[in-house]
Amino acid sequence: MILPAEWSPQQATLLTWPHDADIWGNQHAAVQQTFSHLIALIARFQPVILVIPPRFDRHIILAKLQRFDTADPTQIYFFEALSNDCWARDHGPIGVHSENGLEFLDFRFNGWGEKFPSQLDNRITRDLYRQGALGSHPIHTLPFVLEGGSIETDGCGTLLTTRRCLLSPQRNPGLAQHEIEAKLRQWLGVDRFLWLDHGALEGDDTDSHIDILARFCDPETIVYTTCSNPSDSQYDELCRMKQELESFRDCNGEPYHLFPLPIPRPIHDGQGRRLAATYANFVITNGQVIVPVYNDPMDQIALETLQRCFPDRRIAPLDARSLIHQGGSLHCVTMHIPAENTPDGHD
């Protein structure tokens, strides 16, 4: 079993349409515009599997997509399922390669430790499978809570994650770290674990998902969220996280090449709550990296840094300010579907 890296070939990207105006409030129109732009960008390079509510008028979405030059409606495949919300990274299937080919793992999703309703989201993967959205590949429904945003892999057997999330008692109570590692070795084929203890961001409901903190760009390179302002309330946590990353070694025993991603100026919601704005929540597709931006001077630095880390991919900025009002960003609302290649070709 091999958990492929996100930069490996993909056959599609999954998204779940943000249909619930009650959840998004005055951001609902803006977030649907963000989704439409994101779908158009992805569809330039690969198919999009889009989950919509039953009997929802898909022409509403197609009309929104027409505003973008990159939109290709023939690349959009609609499937119907009930959903609580739109965070496909955490309720979508995790694709792995076995000796028999591509397989899908359907882990439990419980609303980030039972913080939010999740019963409908927890059924989406099985609903997609029954409709043929995932092809004829085997699907395994597992009695273990795991969100896609909580794990990062180099595609070579290394898993980067945080103790604050995976060891949360609201997810898999009673399981110690070594027991969780044993299960992930079995299901994901990983054999090295890099655990972070620091890096908590304000406004984050996920208990420190790794995809807002640190991401692999290749097996020797990690980009990470950093703060250079000692008066910022997140400064100490992010400095400690940097020290942890500096202590890690790659699969060859060498220190990682580390590239800092600055945080933008603090962004707050209408109640004064700081939102978890980070550039680490980028989306990798075939030939492209879509980067969240925030109309901030740090945007350009983040884009240039990621271009150095992904020299063979187009870097596409996308304003994510509407999304962070509900605690996530671009990577959080997407789940990549790996290509149907064999383990020998996963890189």
Catalytic residues: 332
Determine if residue 174 is left, alpha or beta; phi over 0 gives left, psi from -120 to 50 gives alpha, anything else beta. Answer: left
Task: Take residue 199 and report the two structure tokens written for it.
Answer: 């890096």
Beta pairing, strands 48-52 & 10-16: parallel
Distance (Å, whole) CA 196 – CA 165: 10
With beta carbons less than 8 A apart as the criterion, state whether 205 and 168 touch. Answer: no
User: What beta strand segments (E) does the chain contain?
Assistant: 10-16, 48-52, 76-80, 94-98, 101-108, 139-145, 152-153, 158-162, 192-196, 214-218, 221-226, 257-262, 283-285, 288-293, 314-319, 335-338
Q: CA nearest 328: which of 222, 242, 195, 201? A: 201
| Residue linked to tokens 């129109």 | 29
Which run of H or E residues covers position 41? helix 28-43
**DSSP state letter for 109:** -
Residue 301: count other Cβ atoms within 10 Å of its Cβ. 15
Which run of H or E residues covers position 188? helix 177-188
**Distance, C-alpha 227 to centroid of its chain:** 22
Distance (Å, whole) CA 67 – CA 70: 9
Task: Take residue 43 and report the two structure tokens written for it.
Answer: 């569809």
Instruction: Return the ∠ at Cα 323 (arms to 62 and 143), rounded to 5°.
Output: 95
Distance (Å, whole) CA 31 – CA 323: 6
